[in-house]
Structure 1
Amino acid sequence: MGKCKNITRLLSDALDRPLSAGEWIAVGLHLPTCSGCRNYRKHISLLRAASREVSGLDRTPETPSDD
């Protein structure tokens, strides 16, 4: 493990399921040496945040005020 294809798959998987300790170790060993995979991680995080914002999943329900 450690090739970019495997690491980007693990980064994507991490959004949907908990990674095992071994998987996190593989990611942690690879990312410091690979700017492409670091950029991929940043971009998928941004896309996920944007998608949650557009869908309204990050909004908290409004609570009535005490006015």
Structure 2
Amino acid sequence: MGKCKDITRLLSDALERNLELRERLAVGAHLPTCSGCRNFRRHIGLLRAASRAMSGIDDVDDAGPREQ
């Protein structure tokens, strides 16, 4: 593993499940050298946050508890 296609799939999978150790290691080794995959990770995070904000879902995992 290590190709951008594999890494972006793992980044997407990580939104839904915990990655296995070997998968986390592959992502961790690849991201420092690939700005495209780093941008993909940033963009899917922004899209997830925006969709949750629009749907009214309180995302404690990503942003921490919100004060009321």
Shorter-chain TM-score tier: 0.7 to 0.9
1:29 is aligned to 29
User: How many percent of aligned residue pairs carry the same amino acid?
Assistant: 70
Larger radius of gyration: 1
* Structure with bigger RCO (C-alpha 8 Å, 6+ apart): 1
Aligned ranges 1:1-67 → 2 under 5 Å: 1-58=1-58
TM-score computed with the length of structure 1 as normaliser: 0.86
> Which has the larger share of helix?
2
The alignment's C-alpha RMSD in Å is: 1.7
SS in 2 for 1:57: coil
Residue ranges of structure 1 left out of the alignment (5+ in a row): none
Residue ranges of structure 2 left out of the alignment (5+ in a row): 60-64
